Structure 1
Amino acid sequence: MSELDTHGSNLPVAEPIADPGLPEHHYRVTDVDEAQARRTERQISLMFGVATLLAIGFCVAYVTVDFETTFLGWSAQNFALGATLGGALLLIGIGIIQWAKKIMQDHEMVEMRHPAKSSDDDRMAVLDDLNAGIKESQIGRRPLIRNSLLGAVGALALPGVFLLRDLGPLPYGQAQTVWKKGMRVVNDISGLPLRPSDIEVGQLINGEPAVFFPAEGEEEAEIHGHELLAAKAKAAVVVVRMRPADITPDAEKANWGIDGILCYSKICTHVGCPISLWEQQTHHLLCPCHQSTFDLADNGKVIFGPAHRPLPQLPLGLDEQGYIIAMSDFPEIVAPSYPELARDQKKLDQENDRDGA
């Protein structure tokens, strides 16, 4: 006999496939031979133990291996850090896999489909299954595996603590840049020194000290690599020109400009983003990260956003050839506004007051 199916066709309705059941369970060697299980336990624990030593070795290599040392053409420190941390993670992973395949019980289970929302009975069943899984993992019976795994995973926290050092030097005491009296201001793209005639009213030029662009016949900068990049980033400036009548400088900054040309640090005093979004009509410099806004016609004062300190200003002058030069380093600290900076700035202001007196 046939029945109409759901589409209305006169076809026989297929019966559900009968439950084939589970295949016969095959016991492993470690299930029937406790001596073999003990050997496997020791092997897994050895992996976890070596992983612990490698995690400690990462910390030792981080402190003792010099960054500039090379090994087979690679950085020796990078090689040591990668080998130790990678080896620790690899051994922990292999050990856990071996634990699951050879020690934990492997009886097959069937789980029937159920509604999305579980009943209270199902939830209790899940807790029972979790407890059964903990029991089947034999973590209580195998303290050697358990303790060595906890030691290896705990040791992995050590590299994370040591890597915090790579977040950079603390801002405390980082008040100086490479700017010095008589150092020319150059275009950061071409490296050409700037004259007042090169800058029009309303124009902004990204600049940096001439030390990074030595003239022909001069020696190159003494710093290289990441130290050079850090020095260039910290010494970056913006040079702008406004009508002198629009500028309202503080009394001590009255002679820091040249016919409306002013120079400010390019580093936002909020979290250190580079800024150069210039609104020439309003004389505002906008940070693209968090919208801190500085009025360059009013001593770099903060008029909007989360920044709390004005942009540091670089005093300018002219050399004998008529090029724009710095008259000193930045009197203010060039860095994000960490709490330490307020303390340093206050100390610096007090020293300047004593020198002036």
Structure 2
Amino acid sequence: MAHEDDPLEHERASWQPSPGLAVAVTDPVRNDELPPHRQRMTDKDPAAMKRAARTVYTLFYLSLAGSIWAVAAYMLFPIESGSLVDIRQNELFVGLGIALALLAIGIGAIHWSKAVMSDKEFIEPRHATRGRDTTREAAVKAFADANEESGFGRRAMIRNSMIAAVVASIVPGITLFRGLAPEDSPENPNAGNPVYLLSHTMWAKGTRLVHDPTGEPIKASDIQLGSAVHVIPEGLMPDEVPNYLDEKAKAIVLLVRMPVNQLHPPKGKENWGYDGIVAFSKVCTHVGCPVALYEQQTHHLLCPCHQSQFDVSEGAKVVFGPAARPLPQLPIEVDAEGYLVAQSDFLEPVGPSFWERH
């Protein structure tokens, strides 16, 4: 109780709200008792509890089926074929399988917690935490009580189906890693060697640079100062090249033109450009994202994934971010008709630096 001479108490007693002002008076230390416990249908009816448990493990088995379907869809619609139809169907059906697997686990876990687990309210008084034997024994008892309340140890059907669903939900992700690089074969002994695969692209001496995706050849006179153009090798068209997307992913190039006096190429690469026009791989050397943003004033290329920046005026060297090496440069020149052509293929592997580690 407040003291009679407490000035704060006098101030509270004398204060009156303005007319028309609604005031909600609450006691911040009031501790209302818990309302009467309302039993769920599954608490009152054993048949309802059985139906709820059946629903839970059915959802977990549905998740298991989704994981199996995702793996099967990956095999039924191989992306290695290069067909856009197979690729679209692969992405659609693998994605649906994974979505079903994760969604069913989530819904099953929520329904389990709401309909099957213990629904009683408890008040746990606070106490000092001590590392005594009694504390450890209480912790063990708490786990035992939680197991009893959740029914995890007692309801074998729910437990086993949940474990199977969780384990199976990881399998589609592991399966997808299979497509990162094909396995070696007698016909292609280097198919599983990423260093070899990324060291060879469709660029070759005399290959014209063409617009992506139209395939229109590019003349040096067409490139304006400050512009950045997305290019691919001539002949890299969906209906003309097997494994079109794989080849394009390695060969994509960004063409940039800047004043010749602002270019400072590394030693040995002085003749890799033409009249201020230089070409660099669009595949970031960090984790392989497409580098497609060019800042004209600073001459920087930006990777939008992890913000690595490359200075075009300095041979696309790294000036910021996690990338470990400059973007590979494509040596270019012009042919007799004035079209830009490659002097050769890239002289180093494109893509992330870790592919070069043996």
Do structure 1's residue 146 and structure 2's residue 146 form an aligned pair? no
Correspondences of 1:8-87 after superposition (within 5 Å)? 8=14, 22-23=35-36, 26=39, 28=41, 33=46, 41=53, 44-66=56-78, 75-87=88-100
CA gap of 1:90–1:330, structure 2 versus 1, over 3 A, is closer
Deviates more, 1:171-180 or 1:39-48: 39-48
1:314 aligned to 2:320? no
Q: Which residue matches 1:185? A: 209
Alignment CA distance shift 1:31-1:260 (3 Å) = closer
Q: Check if 1:293 corresponds to 2:289.
A: no
Q: Does 1:335 align with 2:351?
A: yes
Deviation at 1:98, TM superposition (A): 4.7
Counterpart contact for 1:287–1:293, Cα < 8 Å? no
- The 5 A counterparts of 1:1-357 are 6-8=12-14, 22-23=35-36, 26=39, 28=41, 33=46, 41=53, 44-66=56-78, 75-107=88-120, 109=121, 111=123, 118-120=126-128, 131-164=144-177, 171-172=194-195, 173-186=197-210, 193-198=217-222, 203-209=226-232, 211=234, 222-223=240-241, 227-228=244-245, 231=248, 234-240=251-257, 242-243=259-260, 250=267, 253=269, 255-258=271-274, 261-272=277-288, 273-274=290-291, 276-278=294-296, 285-287=300-302, 289-293=307-311, 295-296=313-314, 300=315, 302=317, 304-305=319-320, 307-338=323-354, 340-341=355-356
- Write the distance in 2 (CA, Å) between the matches of 1:59 and 1:341: 30
Deviations, residues 216-245 of structure 1 (Å, cap 9, x unaligned) = xxx986259x94597177321324355489
1:239-259 deviation line (CA, Å, top 9, x unaligned):
4355489766745x5654445
Q: Note the alpha carbon deviations across 1:28-76, whole angstroms, 9 max, x for none.
A: 566675x8756764554344334323322222222223465979xx954
Q: Deviations over 1:101-134 (max 9, x none)?
A: 5543333x2649x8xxx43289x7x967665343
Q: 1: CA distance between counterparts of 2:108 and 2:213?
A: 54
TM-score by length of 1: 0.63
Q: Deviations over 1:286-325 (max 9, x none)?
A: 54622343544xxx27374555544433333332323232
CA distance in 1, matches of 2:238, 2:276: 32
Does the aligned pair in 2 maintain the 1:238–1:266 contact within 8 Å?
A: no
Q: CA deviation at 1:181?
A: 2.9
Give the letter aligned to residue 202 of structure 2: V
Deviation string 1:110-160 (CA, Å, 9 cap, x unpaired) is 649x8xxx43289x7x96766534322232322232222222222212123
Equivalent position amino acid for 2:311 in 1: T
Match of 2:22?
none
Aligned residues: 316
Secondary structure of the residue aligned to 1:238 is strand
Is the CA contact (8 Å cut-off) linking 2:280 and 2:316 kept in structure 1?
no
Name the SS for the 2:347 alignment partner.
coil
Asked if structure 1 preserves the Cα contact closer than 8 Å seen for 2:272 and 2:278, the reply is yes
2:301 and 2:84 mapped to 1: Cα distance?
Answer: 42
Aligned partners of 2:42 and 2:52 also within 8 Å:
no
In 1, Cα distance between equivalents of 2:248 and 2:10:
82
Runs of 5+ unmatched residues, structure 2:
1-8, 17-24, 183-192
Separation in structure 2 between the aligned mates of residue 19 and residue 146 of structure 1, nearest angstrom: 37
Partner of 2:188: none
Aligned CA distance change for structure 1 residues 22 and 129 (closer, same or farther; 3 Å): farther
